[in-house]
Amino acid sequence: MKWFDRMNRGTIGISLLSVLLALLCGAVIMLLGGYNPISAYAAFFEGVFGTPYLFGETVRQITPLIFT
């Protein structure tokens, strides 16, 4: 199991850093456009994870993109 931890520790860290930087860049762009990034991201996450139905719809819609 040690090889798995060594191999994936850097990969997971880079992926999380990429997501955080993307959210930060999006927030800066929204601020420059005069929008509130906190309310925008709250609406985004509510739309994706708000109810089990909405989460299922998100998974249904992204499945073809994952397999492409």
Check whether 5 has a pLDDT greater than 90: no
Q: Cα separation of 1 and 56, whole Å? A: 33
Average pLDDT over residues 24-50: 95
Position 23 confidence tier, pLDDT thresholds 50, 70, 90: very high
Q: Cα separation of 20 and 52, whole Å? A: 25
Model-level pTM? 0.69
User: Between 56 and 11, where is the model more confident?
Assistant: 56
**Predicted pLDDT at 30:** 97
Average pLDDT over residues 24-40: 97
